[in-house]
Structure 1
Amino acid sequence: MDFTNANHNNGEIFMFQSSSPPKLTQPTPPPPTVIHKAKYKRNSISKSPDEARQKRIELDAQARRKHREQLITAKRIKHNLDAYKDDDAESEFDLTHQDIERLKSGLNDSNRESRLSSLKDLCTYLADPPDTLRHFVVNDNCIDILIKFLSGTDPDEQLQATWCITNIAAGPKEFCQKAFTAIPHLIAFLRGETISLQDQAAWAIGNLAAEAPECRDLLRANGVLVPLIELLNSKNVTLAQTICFALSNLARGPNANLDEFFSAGITQHLLFYLGAEEMNEVVSEISWVLTYLTSSDDDKYTQILLKEGIVPLLVKHMRPFNHGPLALPLIRTFGNIASGPDDNTDILIQQPDFLPAMLEYIQSDCRPVKKESLWVMSNITATRRPEVLIKVFNAGFIPILSTIATHTNFDIRKEAAYSLLNIASHGEEYMRSLPHQDLLPGFLEFVRSQDMDLIRLGLGYIELLLTQVQNGQQLIEQMHGIDALESVTLLEEPSLRDTSTRLMDKYFGEDFYSNINEVQLVE
């Protein structure tokens, strides 16, 4: 179908909302007019006060949030590879109190080699600490001993002690709290000259920042951001990866003070690594940083990045298609950009490779990539500009979205349904272009489900079908959709019940059945 001269429904747009929170809501008479665009939140997926979320939807949002946070900011243990040369080595340690005393004695030994050996052993044990070691860290003088090494002058001992702090910071909250006293030393190491020590200190800071908002506040209050960002000047790939891991954790939360990130010059550093061909290893970590920088409720930070030309550099890393660690942060960054003004969406789709790559992403066999790529497309199709939809149509999205919306698991189908409904809501010409014979059975399954969000989507589609497609009533009647609508009239949820009742009365009341009987008599 040619949409070159497609009408835009006189400026009226009806958008539908996913399990992610809406950026804007506009309550108006039915059909639903909730604008779907939503950001990937940095710390949590908050709910709009205008939304009445059901328990199952809340659980779904919590599961997605947990999965995202684990992927983005999981603490990282650093293993001592020498300890794992034996293939039969135990993965867990069973240290007696006598073993702990021997370890403490080695850490305080006058012999340097004994101290280093004990530090390495401690690093290894901290990867999976038994209860005896937990007591040593939390209730004994472990941290005090490590601080003495950090305050010393032996670079090898400083490195091993920082490694221990890194693994302590990767542990539970009570471990992290003990590691707070090391923060000034970690920041001092960032300003030093030894790359290995800078890298290890940044790793420890990243683990501390992943723990909780108060940890991030403490780190920022101690001035950690500027030396971290300045270290990106080193152009060392390994160090840059670790720095970006730390920065992505520090950028989390509603009080991240992103102004400090930008005033320290983070934009130019990120642009350099994204544009340098030999720095591909860093792109994934940089994309995680961008996920948080673009998720702020204040769009000014996204605008800064867009004006500096971040989009073309990101799009070039979409190909060759990658299912792995790079795909997810790229997708989330694109979704956050598209959640902003329509000008942002225009910048994305003006890149020739963007929509073709997204078409591959929504067909990925990797479930998180597929699901979140569909979320990006729901933000794209929520635009108010018909020229964007024309490009979506011409890129071949409609058959793929229709198949996904009717042939996969409900949570994946739901994500595809948002995009289709957003497209349909732009006007009759768009609605008529969809394959309703294929779509209607799937949306009727939504209506018959016990998921309030799915039911809402199904009712939205049925209302558009009844109001904008000439044979919509007959299609619904032929596919036993009336029974599905009747089932919703029995629900306790008032908005769904009222919508279903209104549609039944208006389109399938006495007049409808009278017309059906007349046709049957004539035949």
Structure 2
Amino acid sequence: MGRSYVVEHGAVPSFIALLASPMLHISEQAVWALGNIAGDGAAYRDILIECNVVPALLARISPDTPVGYLRNLTWTLSNLCRNKNPFPPLSAVQRVSKMLDNLLTALQIYRRAAQKINTWSRWVQITSEMTNMLPSLIQLLHLSDKDILSDACWAISYLSDGDNDRIDIVVRTGIVPRLVELMSHEEISVVTPALRSIGNIVSGSDLQTQVAVDAEVLKVIPVLMRHQKPSVQKEAAWALSNIAAGPCRQIQQLITCGLLPPLVEQLRNGGSVGSDNFTSGGTVEQVVHLVQSGALEAIINLLQVKDAKVILVILEAINNIFMAAEKLGETEKLSLLVEELGGLDRIEMLQNHDNELVYQAAHSLIEKYFSDGDVVGVKVEGTEEAFVFKTSDVKRTFEF
């Protein structure tokens, strides 16, 4: 109620004017007040943006700005990026994206500059826009403040949480490699928003996802999938799922970087993330590789969960694997293997599920691949540890 009273009585322009106060503590209180107003919802956020708060805030960065002030400033910028109903105006997003890119880039340059005093020559490689802002960012080159990094990364995560046009604004700043680097930061308060930002970016177009892949995000994700915090594991698995939803070229990069074992481990631990994406977008050979990594048994075991949405995802993944087997002419052998792993019993039970979509999906699988004793008399070479699909020109071993 207090904030609405302040805004409705015209205090916002006064707060913005106080940003320019020569008395730093007054200016900082104005930053803090504006940050609280910005965080109170999309309507107040937009009022601030319409009053040109963004350029007024950016003007406060100088070589003499204390770290504490910069923390409040970055937090306020982060709040200006929040809320999705509606999203912030694109013009403001572009300005804040450039600013946050420069903040994070400056902190990155500092770490390198600290190693060699003669790295001043590196500054000439910065873009002309960065060079124009550099006088107000020099102070940041002496910082590696985790709070500034955290709030800046959260701001990027808010800006990238939207449609592909908004993601593109963030990607075009060139910030993705820095975000990938921050995914390995020692502070969880930095890792979490950096990972969320990358997860948003790889949920975009194939080209936007490729930018993250080119920045070697696939080398970082396996580490985060084994992180001690379950929430980080989940975010990393979500990012992996989005990459697995891409074209077969990106799926192949996922395989090459050794991400199938952690994906299968995630499945064994009860997560369905990525299984349907991978099996629908991958080539036959890539789906074979997934099954070779032990995914089929893990996928079948997930049919015991109670969440109907998860069950539908798993049934779709199983259907996709059968479609790959059809292309190899090995449907009957896969049917027998699924039965031996207990999958047939579980799929049959799902025909009694309360959810109509689950019933239909389970019934369809039974009708297509298990009806009328189709698997009777099929000879399987090997055991469930080394199951072989053969055609005249293709041989693939499915290892479990």
Instruction: Tell me the TM-score normalized by structure 1.
Output: 0.59
- Are the structure 2 counterparts of residues 498 and 310 from structure 1 closer, same or farther at C-alpha, using a change threshold of 3 Å? same
| Offset of residue 373 of structure 1 | 1.2
What letter is aligned with 2:2? Answer: F
Structure 1: gaps (5+ residues): 1-173, 518-523
Q: Does 1:212 align with 2:41?
A: yes
Equivalent residue for 1:244, pick from 74, 80, 85: 74
- Are the structure 2 counterparts of residues 317 and 184 from structure 1 closer, same or farther at C-alpha, using a change threshold of 3 Å? same
- Are the structure 2 counterparts of residues 261 and 427 from structure 1 closer, same or farther at C-alpha, using a change threshold of 3 Å? closer
Q: What's 2:313 paired with? A: 457
* Rg comparison, structure with higher value: 1
Q: Does 1:273 align with 2:106?
A: yes
Q: Does 1:444 align with 2:307?
A: no
- Are the structure 2 counterparts of residues 261 and 509 from structure 1 closer, same or farther at C-alpha, using a change threshold of 3 Å? closer
Alignment of 1:245-324 (within 5 A): 245-252=75-82, 253=84, 254-263=86-95, 266=99, 269-270=102-103, 272-277=105-110, 278-281=142-145, 282-299=148-165, 301-319=166-184, 321-322=185-186, 324=188
| Offset of residue 195 of structure 1 | 2.8
- Are the structure 2 counterparts of residues 268 and 382 from structure 1 closer, same or farther at C-alpha, using a change threshold of 3 Å? closer
> Which range is displaced more, 208-217 or 500-509?
208-217
Percent of paired sites with the same residue: 24
- Are the structure 2 counterparts of residues 219 and 316 from structure 1 closer, same or farther at C-alpha, using a change threshold of 3 Å? same
Contact 1:323 1:364 in 2 (8 A): no
Q: What's 2:30 paired with? A: 201
* CA RMSD, Structure 1 to Structure 2 (Å): 2.6
CA distance in 2, matches of 1:483, 1:302: 44
- Are the structure 2 counterparts of residues 336 and 479 from structure 1 closer, same or farther at C-alpha, using a change threshold of 3 Å? same
Q: Does 1:360 align with 2:223?
A: yes
| Offset of residue 227 of structure 1 | 0.8
Q: Does 1:190 align with 2:19?
A: yes
Contact 2:302 2:311 in 1 (8 A): yes
Contact 1:443 1:457 in 2 (8 A): no
| Offset of residue 436 of structure 1 | 5.8
Q: What's 1:499 paired with? A: 361
What letter is aligned with 1:377? Answer: L
Q: Does 1:478 align with 2:305?
A: no
SS at match of 1:358: helix
Alignment of 1:380-459 (within 5 A): 380-386=243-249, 388-407=250-269, 410=270, 413-415=271-273, 418=274, 420-425=275-280, 426-435=282-291, 438-459=294-315
CA distance in 1, matches of 2:102, 2:378: 69
Contact 1:314 1:330 in 2 (8 A): yes
Q: Does 1:177 align with 2:177?
A: no
Contact 1:233 1:269 in 2 (8 A): no
String of CA shifts for 1:387-426, please: whole Å, max 9, x gaps: x22322222211111112103xx4xx133xx2x4323331
CA distance in 1, matches of 2:366, 2:293: 21
SS at match of 1:203: helix
| Offset of residue 385 of structure 1 | 4.3
Contact 2:251 2:278 in 1 (8 A): yes
CA distance in 2, matches of 1:516, 1:308: 57
Contact 1:488 1:496 in 2 (8 A): yes
| Offset of residue 492 of structure 1 | 3.8
Contact 2:163 2:204 in 1 (8 A): no
String of CA shifts for 1:448-494, please: whole Å, max 9, x gaps: 32211111122022212323243321111112212211122122433
- Are the structure 2 counterparts of residues 191 and 344 from structure 1 closer, same or farther at C-alpha, using a change threshold of 3 Å? same
| Offset of residue 199 of structure 1 | 2.3
Contact 1:338 1:380 in 2 (8 A): yes
CA distance in 1, matches of 2:225, 2:150: 19
CA distance in 2, matches of 1:449, 1:432: 25
What letter is aligned with 2:181? Answer: K
Q: What's 1:378 paired with? A: 241
| Offset of residue 435 of structure 1 | 4.0
What letter is aligned with 1:392? Answer: L
CA distance in 2, matches of 1:399, 1:444: 17
| Offset of residue 271 of structure 1 | 5.1
CA distance in 2, matches of 1:385, 1:436: 17
- Are the structure 2 counterparts of residues 478 and 441 from structure 1 closer, same or farther at C-alpha, using a change threshold of 3 Å? same
Structure 2: gaps (5+ residues): 111-141, 380-400
SS at match of 1:414: coil
Q: What's 2:370 paired with? A: 508
CA distance in 1, matches of 2:365, 2:192: 40
CA distance in 2, matches of 1:296, 1:467: 33
Q: What's 2:190 paired with? A: 326
| Offset of residue 323 of structure 1 | 5.3
Contact 2:352 2:359 in 1 (8 A): yes
How many residues are treated as equivalent by the alignment?
333
Contact 1:232 1:269 in 2 (8 A): no
| Offset of residue 510 of structure 1 | 1.0
Higher relative contact order (CA 8 A, sep 6+): 1
Instruction: Tell me the TM-score normalized by structure 2.
Output: 0.75
